[in-house]
Structure 1
Amino acid sequence: MKKKKKSISYGKWGQIFILPFFIIYFIFSLIPLADTVRYSFYEYYRSGIKEVGPNFVGMANYISLLKSDMMAYGKNTLILWLIGFIPQIVIALVLASWFTDARLKIHHKQFFKVVIYLPNLIMASAFALLFFTLFSTSGPVNSILMSLGWINSPIDFMGSVFGTRSLIGLMNFLMWFGNTTIMLMAAIMGISVEVFEACEIDGCNSLQRFFYITLPMIRPILAYTLITSIIGGLQMFDVPQILTNGQGNPDRTSMTLIMFLNNHLKSKNYGMAGALSVYLFIISAILCFIVYKMTNDNDPDGSKAAAKKAAREERRRRR
């Protein structure tokens, strides 16, 4: 009798190779996440050398946060994110369209891509320290403006709400627009050249080509960019922390939600910090779901819309 050949299964090796990831994720991510949610229902803080708790208090931490300045700090975070994100996405779309347009015949594209992406490699703390030095009252910017005779006295950029928020928004824009540009360029380059050739034959101009072909076809990447930017905006910490020395000045108008969370962690108030973390998770989930619904196209070819229209016409005809 012929011996049956043993079948070799390679599936188990794949499971073995990915097992370390799940072990590390469980230990360093899942367990701390569960602890954060658990501590949010407890009174747990340090008062001097005395440690209070953990004592179960239910929803008291969540109610206390709603009565605090959390809403004001949430508004600050939204404003700072908008100041940085709006120019970021606009400039990134323009640059991506230019660099992928064969008709412009731009030379040395690789060099420009590297230059655009370089600010993304600089640490946010280094960026914030650089801007703090440049725009201080005795910094180079004020010195240049005074030597040119444009101002008579130094401008306190970080002493005004507009100046501080503008600097934070400018830094966030400079750090991230290169990354967004590269992603959008990859998305546009993934569009079939035949589509652009067909639109040129139909007589589309540059604006029609951009709004009716490019934007709809890169919608998934735009959704990804917006979602990651929202999450990053809610986690905004290092730039305003260093630029305002952790105070959120002037008048705490640059205090973000993560800076507020960091203050609770510094005071060892783990219950309030856990509750605020849960709030941030819920806000992130809601905003990302809204963005996904707004940008997700369930009818790319228009067949569903055409079917619904035909059904409405049929109902009208029967009436």
Structure 2
Amino acid sequence: MPKKKNRVDKGRYGIYFIIPYFVVFLLFSLYPIIYTLIISLEKWDGMSLNQTFVGLKNYVTLIHDSLFYQAIANTLIMWICAVIPQMVLALLLAVLFNSAKKIRGKEFFRAAMYLPNLVTPAAVAVLFVFLFDWQTGAVNKVLLNLHLIKEPVNWFLSEFSSRGIMSLISWWMWFGYSTIIFGAGLNNIPAELYESASIDGATPWESFKSITMPLLKPTLLFAAVTSLIGGMQTFDIPYVMTGGQGNPNNKTLTVVMYLYNTAFQNSNYGYGSAIGYGLFILILIFSIITFKFINRNVEND
């Protein structure tokens, strides 16, 4: 009997410990999600007490909103331009750091690469605004001194260079994180496989192609999907660098920037909430596709 009572008491105490989590989840996660859905079905300026129910009108408008699709395209373009060099460099560095060769200062370089990830995106954006300022920026001064340009370049007037700078910032901030993730994946690959391949006469490239890449595929896809989810929510960097305008000609306007401007600048909370749910559906679709792809490839491997 006493043992049974102890088991009951332990179970009860376990419930007490998880109650705070559910309270926080209900207040700060579930409630905002439901409330945002309700607002997306209404017309509301965020100030008045009158909230007019409009049904699916906001979503119908969203489907025909060309600026929303342009914001999606901008977000995806900047994400792709950042994630491809980021993944390639991170994979090369992870393989280098996890190789059998001793590299002096390896731990220092790992820590140094991760440091940009600890800085807030807004602070990094301000730093790069000063670096690429067309009048006083260090980039123009260096290029002028090297005689690579004849006069200062206003980098933020060009669609190509504006997107390129923002992709560069994203790459710089996150490639250290990806290197650590890939390094953890490489550490999980049994060393015996490489030893067997070496005995069979396989070259380093053949071992990389036949052992490393197949076994690292789940890690690569995990990094890709988390990067996609984060990339679709890009806000701080383009907002700070363009003053929230998405210049030039809305070519750096991201989905979250469009949401913010609609809801908080134009006081259209109903349509802003609909944009938020549109973004949620996009991320959900991309995540489902990626996870199905992961499961299929893992089973095949």
Same fold (TM over 0.5): yes
Matched residue type, 1:127: V
Separation (CA, whole Å) in 1 of partners of 2:49 and 2:17: 44
Separation (CA, whole Å) in 2 of partners of 1:111 and 1:13: 44
Separation (CA, whole Å) in 2 of partners of 1:12 and 1:282: 38
Matched residue type, 1:237: F
Map 1:196-215 to 2 at 5 A.
196-215=194-213
Could you tell me how far 1:298 is from its partner in structure 2?
6.6
Of 252, 255, 259 in structure 2, the residue corresponding to residue 254 of structure 1 is 252
Structure 2 match to 1:67: 64
1:85 aligns with 2:83: yes
Structure 1 match to 2:43: 43
For residues 57 and 5 of structure 1, do their structure 2 counterparts lie closer, same or farther at Cα, with a shift above 3 Å needed? closer
SS in structure 2 of the partner of residue 153 of structure 1: coil
Could you tell me how far 1:6 is from its partner in structure 2?
4.0
Separation (CA, whole Å) in 1 of partners of 2:229 and 2:261: 20
Separation (CA, whole Å) in 2 of partners of 1:220 and 1:236: 24
SS in structure 1 of the partner of residue 45 of structure 2: strand
Normalising by the residue count of structure 2, what TM-score does the alignment of the two structures yield?
0.93
Of 207, 219, 222 in structure 2, the residue corresponding to residue 221 of structure 1 is 219
Could you tell me how far 1:171 is from its partner in structure 2?
0.2
Separation (CA, whole Å) in 2 of partners of 1:199 and 1:118: 36
Q: Which of 24-33 and 207-216 deviates more? A: 207-216
Separation (CA, whole Å) in 1 of partners of 2:177 and 2:160: 26
Q: 8 Å contact 1:168–1:239 — kept in the other structure?
A: yes
Separation (CA, whole Å) in 1 of partners of 2:297 and 2:224: 19
Separation (CA, whole Å) in 1 of partners of 2:274 and 2:121: 27
Could you tell me how far 1:160 is from its partner in structure 2?
0.3
1:128 aligns with 2:128: no
Could you tell me how far 1:300 is from its partner in structure 2?
4.1
SS in structure 2 of the partner of residue 255 of structure 1: coil
Q: 8 Å contact 2:159–2:251 — kept in the other structure?
A: yes
For residues 298 and 291 of structure 1, do their structure 2 counterparts lie closer, same or farther at Cα, with a shift above 3 Å needed? closer
Separation (CA, whole Å) in 2 of partners of 1:20 and 1:52: 32
Could you tell me how far 1:202 is from its partner in structure 2?
2.0
Q: 8 Å contact 2:134–2:155 — kept in the other structure?
A: yes
Map 1:112-127 to 2 at 5 A.
112-127=109-124
Structure 1 match to 2:96: 98
Q: Which of 4-13 and 293-302 deviates more? A: 293-302
Q: 8 Å contact 2:158–2:248 — kept in the other structure?
A: yes
Structure 2 match to 1:17: 17
Structure 1 match to 2:150: 152
SS in structure 2 of the partner of residue 236 of structure 1: coil
Structure 2 match to 1:108: 105
> How large is the Cα RMSD of the aligned pairs?
1.7
Separation (CA, whole Å) in 1 of partners of 2:2 and 2:291: 50
For residues 301 and 34 of structure 1, do their structure 2 counterparts lie closer, same or farther at Cα, with a shift above 3 Å needed? closer
For residues 130 and 214 of structure 1, do their structure 2 counterparts lie closer, same or farther at Cα, with a shift above 3 Å needed? same
Q: Which of 133-142 and 5-14 deviates more? A: 5-14
Map 1:293-312 to 2 at 5 A.
293-297=292-296, 300=299
Q: 8 Å contact 1:45–1:53 — kept in the other structure?
A: no
Aligned length: 295
Matched residue type, 1:35: Y
Structure 1 match to 2:243: 245
SS in structure 2 of the partner of residue 154 of structure 1: coil
Could you tell me how far 1:117 is from its partner in structure 2?
0.7
Structure 2 match to 1:29: 29
Q: 8 Å contact 2:181–2:219 — kept in the other structure?
A: yes
Matched residue type, 2:111: V
Structure 2 match to 1:290: 289
Could you tell me how far 1:147 is from its partner in structure 2?
2.5
Q: 8 Å contact 2:126–2:241 — kept in the other structure?
A: yes
Separation (CA, whole Å) in 2 of partners of 1:127 and 1:286: 30
Separation (CA, whole Å) in 1 of partners of 2:300 and 2:294: 15
For residues 272 and 52 of structure 1, do their structure 2 counterparts lie closer, same or farther at Cα, with a shift above 3 Å needed? farther
Show structure 2 runs of 5+ residues with no match: none
Q: Which of 242-251 and 221-230 deviates more? A: 221-230
Q: Percent identity among equivalent residues? A: 38
Could you tell me how far 1:295 is from its partner in structure 2?
2.1
SS in structure 2 of the partner of residue 247 of structure 1: coil
Map 1:166-185 to 2 at 5 A.
166-185=164-183
Could you tell me how far 1:35 is from its partner in structure 2?
0.6
* Structure of larger gyration radius: 1
Q: 8 Å contact 1:236–1:256 — kept in the other structure?
A: yes
Separation (CA, whole Å) in 1 of partners of 2:297 and 2:219: 15
Could you tell me how far 1:74 is from its partner in structure 2?
0.6
Separation (CA, whole Å) in 1 of partners of 2:149 and 2:225: 42
Q: Which of 61-70 and 156-165 deviates more? A: 61-70
